[in-house]
Structure 1
Amino acid sequence: MSSTKTLTNLELERRELGRVHIVPEVVEIIAGMATIEVDGVASMSGGIAGGIAEWIGRKNLSKGIKVEVGERDVIVDVSIIVEYGKEIPIIASNIQGNVKEAIHSMTGLVVVEVNVNVHGIDFEQEEKKDIVD
């Protein structure tokens, strides 16, 4: 019997077709989309650069997201504004799960951390409710 090494499909593809490199901006966009899907997130908090991009009419899908991408893993920092009256720990937990799942399913990267930074509370919905009442 001869001993032969069996390669997984992924290893075989890497050798035959070349390497796939996912730039950090792509991971940021995935994380941003996964974050805004979570109930209770009023908006992303992206600082001055993100605000300028939106002011001139460009939607910045990676606003409020920073990533550190390694060979096979990623660390994500998310900065958000929450809706008034919503439970921040629940929102943060939902963001962590959603971001982790989205990045892993779309890229195959292992998400080591998703750090959620709450930069403010949006009172706009509460003000609209008071006006109607």
Structure 2
Amino acid sequence: MEITSSNEKGNLIINEEAISSIAINAAKDVDGVSSFSSKPMDVVGTIKKGSLKVMSPVRITQDGEDMDISIYINLLPNKKIKTVSENVQHNVHEAILNMTGKEVSKVNVIIAGIDFPENGDSNAPLTSEN
């Protein structure tokens, strides 16, 4: 998918990967976002676009002038889901609008998981055997 706009000077084509990169970079700046998760596999989309599309944490759909963004994120522990989600929505919406001039109708934030530290947390309760 590409976003195309034309004027008297020529055409502007913005590729889906560019919009996806803008969304990821905007979401990275939000406190509480730990990492990104790959979106669930879309078999038809994979066949049409190629297998590399499966790895993207951003899904972009466009219907006429309406553009919807879905972004799959993982949170840091002890962060408020609502606050982080609203901040991601705001940052992604503003970044895409500022960089492309295109309005985003919706930014859907999907919480794919929570990234807990792999090595024991110092605040975790200790257990001992007697």
- TM-score with structure 2 setting the length: 0.72
**Which secondary structure state, in structure 1, belongs to the residue aligned with residue 78 of structure 2?**
coil
Structure 1 gaps of 5+ residues are: 1-12, 50-61
Structure 2 gaps of 5+ residues are: 1-5, 42-54, 125-130
Matched, 1:121 2:114: yes
1:3 aligned partner: none
The sequence identity of aligned pairs, in percent, is 32
Contact 1:41 1:80 in 2 (8 A): yes
- TM-score with structure 1 setting the length: 0.70
**Range 65-74 or range 91-100, more displaced:** 65-74
Give RMSD over aligned pairs: 2.9
1:86 aligned partner: 79
2:38 aligned partner: 46
Whole-angstrom distance in 1 between the partners of 2:39 and 2:69 = 17
Pick the structure with greater CA Rg.
Answer: 1
Matched, 1:105 2:87: no
Deviations 1:57-90 (A, max 9, x none): xxxxx83111124554421001011011000000
Whole-angstrom distance in 2 between the partners of 1:82 and 1:123 = 9
Which segments of structure 1 move beyond 6 Å, counting only runs of 4 or more? none
Change (3 A) 1:19 1:91: same
Whole-angstrom distance in 1 between the partners of 2:86 and 2:99 = 20
Q: 60, 64, 75: which is aligned to 2:68? A: 75
Q: 33, 36, 40: which is aligned to 2:25? A: 33
Change (3 A) 1:73 1:41: same
More helix by proportion, 1 or 2?
A: 1
Aligned length: 109
Matched, 1:21 2:8: no
The AA in structure 1 aligned to 2:10 is: G
Contact 1:84 1:126 in 2 (8 A): no
